[in-house]
């Protein structure tokens, strides 16, 4: 009898324990679902913070009063997006990240034919951070940076070149160039390069503008070298082949534009000092 | 384990399963209700803001310039002038013009901003820096691309420039958060120049921002004018 009472007591505890664990699990689920609304914005806040994290310690050493030694020898070619970021997407399944990678092959060959070395920010379907891409150009001198894009809008068959917009006046007086405004001293050179490449493109692709435009392109801001963004219109084409046919013309225009920019770059004083 | 214990164990487990079966549908309903409430509050915020639009019947109607895409030239913004009873208060005024801009032109092909985007809040600091907080749709529904993102920001900046002279610079937040880019390309961590006309500048502004001469120097190309690039925001379906 005593044994029986003990058994039923234990049994009761067991059943209550089982129920309690279910209720607890349910409550945890409920609270996590309520916290969902808060979790998303928090994640969004953290992203820019971590991106801008290198902004504080990372600086580009300034060099002033020298002329360019060694000249222009390297082009950092950046097929934008990649990995989980497809960039612009068309209804016909065209993805910006795939197309720019395809474009980078003929562009690389055309640049190498001009005697330039080419370093690509990505070779496959991966997605290096915007800062990592800039780092490839910032790590050495004698470099220009070209980021390749395909737009969602615009007259199909046209190509536009963008350079970074002006930076707000500098308030920092540490003598070091802040990472987040690395492009500032290169703006003038970037615009010369942009106009040369855009000029070549407008000859090949009717309807393209005659000169480069300015836009606050995030990728260009942290690049400490003459830097341009080249954007082809657009992923909305029904036939992907129409865009692929543009690749040799785009490649030739970029290579000729950079070749024409070489003497301008080499005659310019070493940039890297504060503007 | 004795058969008796096994029975009790099974009974206990069965009870737990029954309790869970009763509790889970209730939980699911609660989760769904919470999600609906969140959606409603966002929609409510949007409606509240748009409702302030016609709330100034006493104000005289003034010519208001709204910058949408050109119907003749691709990728170019053109001003459309409409008569609106705008408030004299710069913040209310900015909300009114931006909500009208978001509502879009008659020809929806000429939109520069996605139809589902809403202005959540608008602040104006004493130095003329405006902070415009938009709903997430501005980031998720703007077609990805330098041109389309530039046109979206530029239409906001130029509309504010034309209608709210107190605004000198602008920051864009998405749902109260700083974002690195709008839709993958355009930098949202920086400040956009809206209006650097010193005659219209407010008298009291912190000196930390910079000297007027330096401001002016940075104003011209910083205006984000799209130039003559072709293209318009007509493909809301083609975005990442």
Interface test with A, best of B40, B187, B235 (most A CBs within 10 A): B187
Let me know: does A159 contact A252? Beta carbons within 8 Å.
no
Contact at CB, A154 and B147, closer than 8 angstroms: yes
Rounded Cα distance between B79 and B155, Å, is 9
Rounded Cα distance between A215 and A194, Å, is 12
| Token code pair at residue A97 | 């990240």
Residue B75, pLDDT above cutoff 90? no
Contact at CB, A207 and B218, closer than 8 angstroms: no
Does the pTM of the predicted model rise above 0.90? no
Which residues of chain B make contact with A50, given a CB cutoff of 8 A? Answer: none
B71 by DSSP, 3-state: which? Answer: coil
Rounded Cα distance between A148 and A82, Å, is 12
- Whether the ipTM is more than 0.85: the answer is no
Percentage of residues in chain B with pLDDT exceeding 90? 62
Give the pLDDT confidence score for residue B3 in this predicted structure: 86
DSSP class per residue in A70-136:
S-S-EEEEEE--BTTB--SB-TTS-BHHHHHHHHHHHHHHHHHHTT-EEEES-SSS----HHHHHHH
Interchain CB contact of A100 with B (< 8 Å): no
Bigger pLDDT: B4 or A50? B4
Interchain CB contact of A93 with B (< 8 Å): no
Beta bridge partners of A159: A232
Alpha-carbon dihedral A260, A263, A267, A268, rounded to 10 degrees: 30
What is the distance in angstroms between the CA of the first residue and the CA of the last residue of chain A? 94
Contact at CB, A18 and B224, closer than 8 angstroms: no
Provide the residue count of chain B.
Answer: 240
Rounded Cα distance between B218 and B223, Å, is 9
Residues within 8 A of B (CB atoms), A 159-178 only: 160, 162, 165-169, 171
CA distance B41 to chain A (A): 12
Interchain CB contact of A207 with B (< 8 Å): yes
Beta bridge partners of B68: B78
pLDDT tens, position by position, B92-142: 999 999 999 999 998 888 999 999 999 999 999 999 999 999 999 999 999
What is the distance in angstroms between the CA of the first residue and the CA of the last residue of chain B? 59
Let me know: does B80 contact B89? Beta carbons within 8 Å.
no
Residue A223: name the closest of A137, A148, A154 by CA. Answer: A137
Task: Give B29's DSSP letter.
Answer: H
Ordered per-residue pLDDT tens for chain A, 275 residues: 444 545 455 555 555 655 555 555 555 444 444 443 333 333 333 333 333 334 333 444 444 445 555 689 999 999 999 999 999 998 878 899 999 999 999 999 999 999 999 999 999 999 999 999 999 999 888 999 999 999 999 999 999 999 999 987 766 566 677 888 899 999 999 999 999 999 999 999 999 999 999 999 999 999 999 999 999 998 998 888 999 999 999 999 999 999 999 999 999 887 644 43
Give the pLDDT confidence score for residue B134 in this predicted structure: 97
Residues within 8 A of B (CB atoms), A 43-82 only: 44-45, 47-48, 51-52, 81
Contact at CB, A151 and B231, closer than 8 angstroms: yes
Give the pLDDT confidence score for residue A48 in this predicted structure: 33
Give the pLDDT confidence score for residue B27 in this predicted structure: 92
Task: Give A54's DSSP letter.
Answer: G
Ordered strands of the B169-174 beta sheet: B119-124, B129-134, B169-174, B192-193
Give the pLDDT confidence score for residue A243 in this predicted structure: 93
Residues within 8 A of B (CB atoms), A 241-260 only: none
Contact at CB, B20 and A217, closer than 8 angstroms: no
C-alpha pair distances (Å), A27 with each of A31, B25, B79, B207: 6, 13, 55, 53
DSSP H or E stretch at residue A144: strand A143-150
Q: For strand A159-163 and strand A213-214, is the pairing parallel, antiparallel, or unpaired?
A: parallel
Let me know: does A246 contact A157? Beta carbons within 8 Å.
yes
Give the pLDDT confidence score for residue B226 in this predicted structure: 35
Which residues of chain A make contact with B240, given a CB cutoff of 8 A? Answer: 85-89
Residue B177, pLDDT above cutoff 60? yes
Interchain CB contact of A195 with B (< 8 Å): no
For residues B141-155, average pLDDT: 95
Q: Which of A11, A89, A155 sits opposite B231 (nearest CB)?
A: A155
Sign of the torsion angle spanned by Cα atoms B177, B179, B182, B184: negative
Interface test with A, best of B185, B188, B227 (most A CBs within 10 A): B185
| Token code pair at residue B28 | 């699911």
Show me where the domains of chain B are located.
Answer: 45-234
Bigger pLDDT: A35 or B12? B12
Beta bridge partners of A118: A75
For residues B50-72, average pLDDT: 77
Bigger pLDDT: B206 or A76? A76
Task: Give A192's DSSP letter.
Answer: H
């Amino acid at each position: 009898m005593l044994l029986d009472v003990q058994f039923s007591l234990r049994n009761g505890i067991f059943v209550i324990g089982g129920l309690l664990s279910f209720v607890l699990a349910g409550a945890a689920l409920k609270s996590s679902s309520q916290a969902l609304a808060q979790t998303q914005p928090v994640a969004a806040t953290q992203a820019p913070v971590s991106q801008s994290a290198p902004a504080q310690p990372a600086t580009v050493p300034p060099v002033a009063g020298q002329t360019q030694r060694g000249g222009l020898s390297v082009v950092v070619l950046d097929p934008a997006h990649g990995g989980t970021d497809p960039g612009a997407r068309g209804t016909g399944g065209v993805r910006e990240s795939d197309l720019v990678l395809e474009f980078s092959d003929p562009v690389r060959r055309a640049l190498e034919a001009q005697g330039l070395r080419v370093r690509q920010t990505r070779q496959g379907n991966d997605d290096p951070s915007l800062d990592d891409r800039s780092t490839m150009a910032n790590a050495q001198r004698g470099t220009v940076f070209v980021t390749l894009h395909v737009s969602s809008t615009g007259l199909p068959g046209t190509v536009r070149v963008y350079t970074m917009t002006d930076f707000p006046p500098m308030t920092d007086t540490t003598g070091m160039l802040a990472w987040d405004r690395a492009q500032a001293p290169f703006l003038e050179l970037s615009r010369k390069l942009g106009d040369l490449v855009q000029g070549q493109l407008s000859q090949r692709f009717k309807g393209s503008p005659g000169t480069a435009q300015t836009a606050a392109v995030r990728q260009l801001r942290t690049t400490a070298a003459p830097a341009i963004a080249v954007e082809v219109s657009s992923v909305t084409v029904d036939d992907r082949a129409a865009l692929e046919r543009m690749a040799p013309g785009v490649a030739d225009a970029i290579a000729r534009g950079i070749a024409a920019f070489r003497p301008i770059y080499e005659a310019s004083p070493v940039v890297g000092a504060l503007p | 384990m004795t058969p008796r214990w096994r029975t009790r164990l099974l009974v206990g487990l069965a009870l737990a399963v029954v309790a869970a079966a009763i509790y889970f549908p209730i939980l699911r309903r609660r989760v769904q209700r919470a999600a609906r409430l969140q959606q409603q509050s966002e929609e409510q915020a949007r409606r509240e803001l748009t409702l302030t639009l016609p709330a100034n019947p006493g104000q005289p109607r003034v010519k208001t310039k709204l910058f949408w895409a050109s119907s003749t030239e691709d990728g170019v913004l053109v001003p459309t002038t409409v008569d609106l009873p705008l408030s004299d208060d710069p913040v209310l005024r900015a909300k009114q013009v931006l909500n009208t801009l978001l509502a879009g032109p008659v020809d929806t092909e000429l939109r520069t901003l996605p139809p589902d985007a809403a202005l959540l809040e608008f602040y104006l600091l004493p130095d003329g820096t405006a902070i415009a907080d938009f709903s997430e749709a501005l980031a998720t529904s703007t077609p990805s691309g330098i041109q389309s993102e530039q046109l979206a920001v530029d239409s906001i900046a130029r509309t504010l420039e034309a209608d709210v002279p107190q605004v000198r610079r602008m920051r864009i937040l998405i749902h109260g958060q700083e974002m690195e880019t709008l839709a993958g390309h355009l930098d949202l961590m920086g400040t956009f120049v809206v209006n650097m006309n010193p005659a219209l500048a407010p008298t009291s502004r912190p000196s930390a921002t910079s000297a007027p001469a330096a401001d002016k120097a940075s104003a011209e190309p910083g205006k984000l004018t799209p130039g003559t690039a072709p293209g318009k925001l007509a493909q809301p379906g083609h975005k990442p």
